[in-house]
Amino acid sequence: MKLQVTEQGVLIPKELLGETQFVKVTQEQEKIVITTIKKTSSIWELGTNPVECDSIINPDEDYPIYSPLNAFEAADTLLQVLEDNKNNGQ
75 occurs within a structural domain:
yes
- Euclidean distance between CA atoms 1 and 14, whole angstroms: 13
Least Cα distance to 20 among 35, 37, 32, 33 occurs for 37
Amino acid 69: pLDDT = 59
36 occurs within a structural domain:
no
83 occurs within a structural domain:
yes
**Dihedral sign, CA of 32, 33, 39, 41?**
negative
Contacts of 72 (CB under 8 A, 6+ apart): none
40 occurs within a structural domain:
no
Give the global pTM: 0.40
76 occurs within a structural domain:
yes
25 occurs within a structural domain:
no
Structural domains in the chain (count)? 1
Query: Percent of the chain at pLDDT above 90?
Result: 22
SS3 content of the chain, % helix, strand, coil (to 5): 30, 20, 50
CA distances from 9 to 5, 12, 35, 49 (A): 5, 10, 17, 38
For 78-90, the pLDDT digits (tens) are: 888 888 888 877 5
Residue 70 sits in which domain range?
54-87
For 6-49, the pLDDT digits (tens) are: 999 999 999 888 888 889 999 999 999 999 887 776 777 777 77
Residue of higher predicted confidence among 40 and 61: 40
74 occurs within a structural domain:
yes
22 occurs within a structural domain:
no
